[in-house]
Amino acid sequence: MLVTRQPVLRRFWYATLPLHQLEQGPRSFRLLGVPLVLWLDSLGRPAALRDRCCHRTARLSKGFVENGHIVCGYHGWTYDTCGRCVRIPQNELGAVPDSARVDAFACEARYGYAWVALEQPLAPIPEFEEDSRPGFRRILQFHETWATSPLRFMENAFDNSHFSFVHRSNFGIQEQPRPSPYDIRESGDGFSAHTVVRIRNPESSHRVTGSAEPYTERQLHNRWWLPFVRRFGCVYAPSGRHHIIYNCATPIDDEHISLAQWLYRDDTEDDCSAVELIAWDRPIVDEDRDILEATDPDAALDLQRRTEQHMASDRPGLLMRKRLLALLREHGESESHRQTSAG
């Protein structure tokens, strides 16, 4: 599925950049092939415009912020958060033509990130329930670019069979390639998926899992929101410690995603520090990234492809494809997608 050729995907919210990165000035970002400039207005709220001055087409992200407005670094043309040019320094009379404007996009601050929708959203930004629950702390784990597609990432996030091989040097049990099946419950905006997976618990994981036993269980209460947001809802047994991960796989273009990851824990810094948790997870993240970047990023949605139905544990992946295909059909499947699926 070539994401830039599916217009309906423009109608969802995507996490773009951490808000703290915008405190230093405007930043560039590409969403579904559209170049954006993001910055913070005078009230500290994020804003997003097309990264192109209407004067001489310079990138606004090369400019600076002044009184909450974005100023082009080429000739000083200044824009408000709605994309209207409010000042042309070269015009002595101060007049600004109505046509002097650039495209503006919906932008909201949530969970420490600027979220952007290129067109009227079909659904709200997903609710991260732990963000408002007492006793949980939020850790912004990372934000980085991967050379893969958002569908590939989402499928992998629910594919427990890869644990035994991709993560065999960490928690995976190679002699246990067939994980417990998921109990899946569909909803209007995606599905929830529940299962229990036994994993290795080496000494380096003891403070993370809250257990010193050689093996532990992940009681998984996962969630998927259309199109590319997921919750990894892990409760370690027998400790009962929560390890909740959220991801937004934001499509940059047809071959790259911007991956944001949040971690929520119900323990304290003394139990397991944020630095410790991030360092522990880094090798696991790198293993996923390495294997996903070795796959074809153009994941076709054709449900008849036998190579995509070889595992009973792939039910979440097949359901994702089914729901995405229905979404494309409901809102006008593109010609490029029909060609891709048939190939």
What type of residue is 56?
R
> Which of 93, 117, 141 is the last residue before a domain boundary?
117
Q: Which residues contact 296 (CB under 8 A, 6 or more apart)?
A: none
Burial-class residue 210 by CB neighbours within 10 Å (0-12, 13-18, 19+): buried
Report CA-CA distances (Å) from 252 to 18, 184, 237.
16, 29, 37
Cβ–Cβ < 8 Å for 151, 320: yes
Whether residue 167 is found in the same domain as residue 112: no
343 in a structural domain: no
Whether residue 86 is found in the same domain as residue 51: yes
Total domains in the fold of the chain: 2
Whether residue 106 is found in the same domain as residue 151: no
How far is Cα 115 from Cα 220, in angstroms, rounded to an integer? 27
pLDDT of residue 206: 94
pLDDT of residue 165: 74
Owning domain of residue 249: 129-329
Strand partners, 198: 217
Q: pLDDT tens, 63-119?
A: 999 999 999 999 999 999 999 999 999 987 878 999 999 999 999 999 999 999 999
230 in a structural domain: yes
242 in a structural domain: yes
Whether residue 67 is found in the same domain as residue 185: no
* Cα three-residue angle 144-148-153, rounded to 5 degrees: 85
1 in a structural domain: no
How far is Cα 71 from Cα 67, in angstroms, rounded to an integer? 10
221 in a structural domain: yes
Q: For residues 54-91, b (16+ Cβ closer than 10 Å) or e, as one string?
A: bbeebbbbebebeeebbbbbeebbbbbbebebebbeee
Residue 68: which CATH number? 2.102.10.10
> What is the DSSP pairing of strand 137-146 with strand 34-40?
unpaired
Whether residue 75 is found in the same domain as residue 156: no
Whether residue 142 is found in the same domain as residue 30: no
Cβ–Cβ < 8 Å for 203, 268: no
DSSP letters, 214-230, are: SEEEEEEEEEEETTTEE
Sign for the CA dihedral angle at 150, 259, 291, 276 comes to negative
pTM, 2 dp: 0.91
124 in a structural domain: no
Q: pLDDT tens, 188-213?
A: 999 999 999 887 788 989 999 999 99
Whether residue 103 is found in the same domain as residue 227: no
Q: How many CB atoms lie within 10 A of CB 205?
A: 18
Q: Which residues contact 189 (CB under 8 A, 6 or more apart)?
A: 123, 126, 225, 226
Whether residue 155 is found in the same domain as residue 183: yes
Q: For residues 243-273, b (16+ Cβ closer than 10 Å) or e, as one string?
A: bbbbbbbbbbbbbbbbbbbbbbbbbeeeebe
Whether residue 172 is found in the same domain as residue 319: yes
Tokens of 247: 């991801």
pLDDT of residue 173: 60
205 in a structural domain: yes
Task: State which residues of the chain have pLDDT below 70.
Answer: 168, 172-174, 177, 179, 300-313, 333-343
pLDDT of residue 304: 59
Residue 162: which CATH number? 3.90.380.10
